[in-house]
Amino acid sequence: MATTLVRPRPTTPGTPTGPATLGAGTHKAPSLRHLAPNWYASVMGTAIIANAGATLPYQLPGQRVVCQIFWVLAATALAVLLTARAGHWLHHRDQARAHLLDPAVAPFYGCLSMALLAVGGGALIVGKDLIGLPAAIAVDTVLFTAGTAIGLLAAVAVPYLMVVRHKVEAHQATPVWLLPVVAPMVSAALGPLLIPHLPAGQAREAMLLGCYAMFGLSLLATLLLLPLIFGRLIVSGPLPLALTPTLFLVLGPLGQSTTAVNSLADMAPRSMAGPYSGAFSAFAVVYGVPVMGFALLWLALAAAMLLRAARDGMGFAMTWWALTFPVGTCVTGAAGLARHTGLTAFSWLAAALFLALLTAWLLAAANTLRGLATGRLLAAPR
């Protein structure tokens, strides 16, 4: 008699279930079995506070020290998670493969890239005050290279798996699908930090244009996915309560692309001769202002949906970390527009969004620590 094994589906993208048959190594490091790649979002959400806080138009006494503390926290969390995830792949390879074959979990592999990039960029923004500029350059070079390579791989591999292996339907579309294709945009936004430390000439120009290429790659892929996500909301209604915070993920490519064009415009005069540097500065404003406008529209929509979910009893899930990094990219995007336009309104916007970012981080971090203390977040999903 033939037997068909059906792999259980996860209840939310942050809590995947394993296959029906457990692997031989499940008795080793059992606490790591359900450690999914979505945990890298906590690193991203912590690092963006350091990066955004240090680049705000307004600086208060002691603000940079606080940013340094957040960078150290993010770097420490990254090291712990990389070690834990290595143990996950070593002892629970069956579960790790199940994650890749699950359309609800596989997109979170883009978070690994963004966590590496965010901590690496923070090394040059604030970490250099603690470890010195040469060490900061070395750290960012390694993490940027690794993060960019992983991000480009995820941008191809995850959509490929969704096409040929995952069985998805239109009503299953969520903003989580954006995660793999947004990773190259983070490289485009943080790559300019390394340009002043490259040899003048071909190396700087290659980095600048390479970042613009990743900007285009990520932007066009995002434009392909956004209609699916918005169409799913219109046709099928609100997301499940635990997934509602992922609506804020749409802010990621919007804020990060605005950050990227402004950061690249800052570095264009050091990288290319002729009229291009002026054109890039104009493009930063012509592109960034309309996109920031749409980001604020989406922020209002996502906030309204979040309040609705809270009234309906939404509990804590790791998806709450979606309220941090995407909002942080809007902070850096608004700060970049403030630099290039001189408008005080953009400075105020950056400061207001940063306060919202801090509030979201405190809520997500406190509940994550509580969930770890009780063991609920690393337990097998119900």
DSSP-assigned letter for residue 380: P
CA 243 – CA 182 distance, rounded (Å): 19
Q: Is residue 119 part of a domain?
A: yes
- Which of 12, 43, 45 is CA-nearest to residue 363? 45
241 is written with which tokens? Answer: 């309560």
Q: Is residue 57 part of a domain?
A: yes
Contact 144, 121 (CB under 8 A): yes
Q: Is residue 320 part of a domain?
A: yes
Residue type for position 190: L
Q: Is residue 96 part of a domain?
A: yes
Q: Is residue 15 part of a domain?
A: no
Residue type for position 112: L
Rounded to 5°, angle at Cα 326 from 324 and 332: 100
Whole-model pTM? 0.90
Q: Is residue 234 part of a domain?
A: yes
In order of 96, 142, 161, 182, 226, the CA distances from 164 in angstroms are: 19, 33, 5, 21, 21
The number of folded domains in the chain is: 1
Q: Is residue 382 part of a domain?
A: no
Looking at the chain, list the stretches that DSSP marks H as alpha helix, in order from N- to C-terminal side: 40-54, 63-91, 93-100, 109-122, 128-131, 133-164, 179-190, 202-236, 251-271, 276-311, 325-341, 344-374
Contact 186, 119 (CB under 8 A): no
Contact 66, 53 (CB under 8 A): yes
- Which of 156, 150, 83, 65 is CA-nearest to residue 115? 150
pLDDT value at residue 27? 60
Instruction: Write out the residue range of the structural domain in which residue 124 sits.
Output: 30-374
CA 122 to chain centroid: 14
- Which of 223, 143, 222 is CA-nearest to residue 187? 143
Q: Is residue 103 part of a domain?
A: yes
CA 189 – CA 256 distance, rounded (Å): 7
Other CB atoms within 10 A of residue 137 CB: 18
Q: Is 24 left (phi over 0), alpha (psi -120 to 50) or beta?
A: alpha
Contacts of residue 144, defined as CB under 8 A and 6 or more positions apart, other chains included, come to 116, 117, 120, 121, 187, 190, 191, 194
pLDDT value at residue 382? 64
**Please, what are the averages of pLDDT over each run of 10 residues along the chain (382 residues)?**
36 41 55 88 96 93 96 97 91 88 90 96 96 96 97 95 87 92 96 95 94 96 95 92 96 97 93 82 95 97 96 93 97 96 96 97 96 85 66
- Please report, to the nearest 10 degrees, the dihedral formed by the alpha carbons of residues 169, 172, 176, 181 taken in order: 20
Q: What is the CATH number of the domain that holds 133?
A: 1.50.10.150
